[in-house]
């Protein structure tokens, strides 16, 4: 890397784009230009701050002339690789990297990298929690929390980077060589971005690309696609499985094992659901390979309470439970949610369409405890069509999110759940799944306040007790 002699165009003033620009400016690159075609308050504020640090902003009508003068494009994950800007760089034979790639090049501590369709954030959080419980200096980063470049100064000499890596990041990530690479599962997702499952699977497999015989590949042996990666990597393969004994972590007679050693009972896990059990097994593998002792692993798993917006119990209003699963942005995640939630539910489905079929979702709902579905957002009509085709007729179509939440609450009976598990991205109405989950929580509070107001005894204006006694 020769930053002082190179000029960079950072495209996309999102979390990772901002971190990349700050990092490059701190490394004294020859020039760092900033670009985003969104006219958004947050984008404007971030751009103004970075301009003050020395990064000139580029207008839309000037970006391609600027690109012609730049050496490297730093592409935010939210901008697809077939956008005209990276296409222009690729045609010119110039480098295209992401923030994660910049971080990987500068990383000087061993890394545990986790990818997969579902469970990445939970597993990374779990691994970080276990390693810290075991006395390790672990920092979670990547697609969770802080970007890698923003964490470089936080790593102790004996630190460990625990990084969540998305398929979007893998498009521009070439240098990462994790000591432990974890691949959790592969299900249909992001086909609006990657077009085919073949492309999506290939991107996920890239996490293993740089691994040698000195590294480890932790693979889900219950997933046939992930299992097939064992034949394509030079890394030492360690498996995990819910279905039976394997050379790694597994469940036998209701207990979690690492190889032949019993660690704890499945019933000791605070998080319910088979998907959480699988995440725990993956975490066991990764942490054992990073030197965590068994007692620390068992203790940490017993105390791990999960992450925000993933089957998060928010509370109840008039006996109706609210559960925030906004992170379920694909069909597989939503199916796993309804399988895990106890009791009957009214489910909220909808948002930004990601290009996959919704019929399997409604087929699963017919066999679940879901008594009604409220459909909202950009893809509400596509969801409705799929519901009808699967003969799931207990639906209400209600496109605005706020109104949909209220309708779901009025539909639910006491003892039932209002479950936000949208099986869709959030970007039709929100900046992130986090913002969507936060709005859901706010609406629950508003409903609770409204109900409490209705339950208060009415005050008779103008008459006190003495007046009434006259």
Q: How far apart are CA 74 and CA 12, in angstroms?
A: 9
Q: Which residue has the tokens 């699988």?
A: 278
Measured in whole angstroms, the distance separating CA 286 from the mean position of its chain's CA atoms is 19
**Catalytic residue (one of 118, 120, 220, 288):** 120
Catalytic site includes residue 179: no
Catalytic site includes residue 120: yes
Q: Which residue has the tokens 């209003």?
A: 317
Alpha-carbon torsion, ordered 306, 343, 369, 377, to 10 deg: -60
Q: At residue 248, what are phi and psi to the nearest 5 degrees?
A: 170, -120
**Catalytic residue (one of 129, 136, 179, 190):** 190
> Could you tell me which residues come within 8 angstroms of residue 364 by beta carbon, excluding any fewer than 6 positions away?
335, 338, 339
**Catalytic residue (one of 143, 220, 321, 417):** 143
Catalytic site includes residue 190: yes
DSSP β-ladder status, 95-97 and 255-258: unpaired
CB 358 within 8 A of CB 348: no
Distance, first Cα to last Cα, the chain: 90
Residues annotated catalytic, as ranges = 120, 143, 190
């Amino acid at each position: 890397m020769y930053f002082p002699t190179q000029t960079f165009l950072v495209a996309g003033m999102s979390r990772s784009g901002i971190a990349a620009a700050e990092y490059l400016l701190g490394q004294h690159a020859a020039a760092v230009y900033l670009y985003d075609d969104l006219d958004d308050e947050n984008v404007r504020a971030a751009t103004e701050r970075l301009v003050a640090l020395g990064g000139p902003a580029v207008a839309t009508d000037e970006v391609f002339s600027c690109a012609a003068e730049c050496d490297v494009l730093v592409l935010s994950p939210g901008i697809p690789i077939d956008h005209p800007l990276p296409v222009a760089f690729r045609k010119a034979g110039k480098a295209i990297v992401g923030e994660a790639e910049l971080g990987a090049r500068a990383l000087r501590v061993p890394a545990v990298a986790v990818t997969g369709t579902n469970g990445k954030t939970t597993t990374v959080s779990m691994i970080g929690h276990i390693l810290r419980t075991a006395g390790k200096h672990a920092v979670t980063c990547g697609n969770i929390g802080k970007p890698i470049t923003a964490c470089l100064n936080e790593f102790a000499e004996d630190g460990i980077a625990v990084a969540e890596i998305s398929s979007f990041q893998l498009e521009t990530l070439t240098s990462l060589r994790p000591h432990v690479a974890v691949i959790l599962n592969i299900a249909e997702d992001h086909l609006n971005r990657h077009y085919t499952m073949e492309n999506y699977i290939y991107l996920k497999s890239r996490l293993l690309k740089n691994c040698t015989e000195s590294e480890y590949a932790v693979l889900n042996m219950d997933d046939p696609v992930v299992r097939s990666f064992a034949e394509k990597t030079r890394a030492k393969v360690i498996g995990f499985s819910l279905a039976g004994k394997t050379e790694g972590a597994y469940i036998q007679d209701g207990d979690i094992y690492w190889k032949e050693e019993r660690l704890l009972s499945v019933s000791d896990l605070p998080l319910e659901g088979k998907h959480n059990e699988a995440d725990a097994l993956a975490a066991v593998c990764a942490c054992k390979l990073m030197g965590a002792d068994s007692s620390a692993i068992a203790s940490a798993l017993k105390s791990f309470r999960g992450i925000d917006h993933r089957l998060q119990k928010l509370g109840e209003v008039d006996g109706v439970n609210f559960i925030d699963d906004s992170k379920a942005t694909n069909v597989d995640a939503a199916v796993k949610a309804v399988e895990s939630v106890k009791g009957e539910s009214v489910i909220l489905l909808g948002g930004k369409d990601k290009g996959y079929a919704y019929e399997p979702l409604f087929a699963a709902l017919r066999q679940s405890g879901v008594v009604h579905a409220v459909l909202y957002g950009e893809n509400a009509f596509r969801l409705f069509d799929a519901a009808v085709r699967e003969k799931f007729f207990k639906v209400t179509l209600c496109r605005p999110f706020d109104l949909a939440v209220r309708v779901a609450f009025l539909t639910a009976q006491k003892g039932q759940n209002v479950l936000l598990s949208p099986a869709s991205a959030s970007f039709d109405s929100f900046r992130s799944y986090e913002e969507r989950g936060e709005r859901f929580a706010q609406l629950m509070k508003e409903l609770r306040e409204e109900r409490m107001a209705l339950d208060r005894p009415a005050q008779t204006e103008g008459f006190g007790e003495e007046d009434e006694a006259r």
